[in-house]
């Protein structure tokens, strides 16, 4: 799949996920506290796939075209972030790809938990690349099911019962599409495996 087709399919994926989030948010009502300026989910390094990375790079390219000085600030935040965390990074410092062995995965659990995302504007508390944000950012807040059960943001759903939380679950059938597009992104980029936002935006 060529990069333009991949981009188009990624836009379809984003629309599916954003629509699912909107539905879950409507069901969640006042239990969902996510608002512009809340940065609970923006602090602490998290893994992203190569499709997320490609989307972020497109976002950076768009920002550079519109506001080159602003983009330079974001890139410098990413480079500074890498300098702070490089010594403990459980991956390849040249590519930014995380190692996949069990020891490295365990190290990542405690890695850079206080490190703000480079896309986060520390003055406004807003994401400078919001429209291009990774999937994990797009689904954070409402109840999301994983192998560990139904998880929610620790700030949200205070006082809600288990049944009330379950009724607000974010449901999307996009997993197959996303996994296919991740494979295509890895093929196009010639890079496989997960990385973090800082390495994606630093160069």
Range of the domain at 116: 3-18+27-201
- The per-type count for the chain, helices as H runs and strands as E runs, is 8, 4
What span, in angstroms and rounded, lies between the C-alpha atoms of 198 and 26?
Answer: 32
Render each residue's pLDDT in the chain as its tens digit; 203 residues: 777 899 999 999 999 999 999 999 999 999 998 888 899 899 999 999 999 999 999 999 999 999 999 999 999 999 999 999 999 999 999 999 999 999 999 999 999 999 999 999 999 999 999 999 999 999 998 999 887 788 888 889 999 999 999 999 999 877 789 999 999 999 998 999 999 999 999 98
Between CA 189 and CA 194, with CA 193 as vertex, the angle to 5 degrees is 105
Q: Please, which residues have CB within 8 angstroms of residue 143's CB and are 6 or more apart in sequence?
A: 24, 28, 150, 151, 152, 157, 165, 166, 168, 169, 170
Q: Tally the domains of the chain.
A: 1
Q: What whole-number distance in Å separates Cα of residue 197 and Cα of residue 186? A: 16
Q: Output the CA angle 41-43-45, nearest 5 degrees.
A: 100
Q: Report the Cα 132 to chain-centroid distance in Å.
A: 9
First vs last C-alpha separation in the chain = 24
Backbone φ, ψ for residue 150 (5° rounding): -95, 115
- E strand residue ranges, 36-95: none
Say whether 135 sits in a helix, a strand or coil. Answer: helix
Find out whether 73 and 188 touch, Cβ atoms under 8 Å: no
Contact 14, 167 (CB under 8 A): no
**Separation between Cα atoms, residue 106 and residue 30, nearest integer Å:** 35
């Amino acid at each position: 799949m060529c990069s333009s087709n991949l981009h188009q399919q990624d836009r379809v994926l984003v629309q599916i996920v954003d629509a699912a989030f909107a539905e879950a948010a409507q069901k969640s009502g006042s239990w969902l506290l996510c608002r512009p300026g809340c940065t609970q989910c923006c602090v602490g390094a998290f893994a992203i796939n190569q499709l997320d990375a490609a989307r972020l790079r497109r976002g950076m390219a768009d920002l550079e075209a519109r506001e080159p000085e602003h983009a330079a600030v974001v890139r410098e935040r990413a480079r500074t972030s890498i300098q702070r965390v490089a010594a403990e990074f459980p991956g390849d410092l040249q590519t930014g790809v995380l190692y996949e062995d069990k020891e490295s995965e365990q190290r990542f659990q405690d890695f850079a938990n206080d490190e703000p995302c480079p896309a986060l504007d520390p003055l406004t508390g807003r994401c400078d690349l919001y429209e291009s944000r990774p999937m994990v950012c797009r689904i954070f807040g409402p109840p999301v099911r994983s192998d560990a059960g139904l998880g929610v943001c620790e700030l949200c759903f205070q006082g809600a019962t288990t049944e009330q939380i379950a009724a607000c679950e974010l449901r999307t059938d996009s997993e197959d599409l996303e996994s296919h597009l991740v494979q295509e992104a890895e093929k196009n980029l010639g890079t496989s495996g997960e990385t973090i936002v800082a390495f994606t935006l630093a160069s």
